């Protein structure tokens, strides 16, 4: 798919100019969504987005074994969705990429706690009041 230059996309009431994605962007985006399609991985990323945790804490909160959490975290780290730093003998995981944080926040703003789709925000997307910034 060739990049055709800027085009206008409709986001609710807001129009914004976007470029058509390149093949490379589509490939990486699809692989990212595939990684997040596993509920355990999505849970681990969500937990890491909420703060720094070691693998034991993440595994306990996600309800999986340490070995399972470690395997998933390795894949997520290699994909750049979580980051890790050493603290003595422990690896501490977090999400520090603002794009990943936005993605995680957006999906859970979109899906209500009961699994239904959340109602539309009272303000147009992109309006600072929609994020509580104003």
Q: What is the C-alpha separation between 95 and 83, in angstroms, rounded? A: 6
Q: What is the C-alpha separation between 28 and 13, in angstroms, rounded? A: 29
pTM score, two decimals?
A: 0.76
Which structural domains are found in the chain, ordered by start? Answer: 21-115 (1.10.10.10)
Which strand (E) or helix (H) includes residue 86?
Answer: strand 83-87
Tens-binned pLDDT, residue by residue, of the chain (134 aa):
444 444 445 544 445 557 899 999 999 999 999 999 999 999 999 999 999 999 999 999 999 999 999 999 999 999 999 999 999 999 999 999 999 999 999 999 999 999 999 887 666 666 676 665 55
Kindly state the tokens that stand for 5.
């230059």
Residue 73 contacts residue 27 (beta carbons within 8 Å): no
């Amino acid at each position: 798919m060739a990049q055709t230059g800027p085009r206008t996309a409709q986001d609710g009431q807001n129009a914004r100019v976007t470029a058509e994605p390149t093949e490379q962007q589509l490939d990486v985006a699809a692989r990212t969504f595939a990684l997040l399609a596993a509920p355990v991985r999505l849970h681990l990323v969500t937990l890491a987005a909420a703060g720094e945790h070691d693998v034991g804490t993440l595994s306990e909160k996600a309800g999986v074994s340490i070995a399972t959490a470690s395997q998933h975290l390795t894949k997520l780290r290699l994909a750049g969705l979580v980051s890790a730093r050493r603290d003595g003998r422990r690896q501490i995981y977090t999400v520090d990429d603002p794009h990943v944080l936005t993605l995680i926040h957006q999906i859970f703003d979109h899906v209500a706690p009961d699994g239904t789709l959340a109602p539309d925000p009272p303000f147009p997307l992109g309006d600072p009041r929609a994020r509580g910034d104003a």
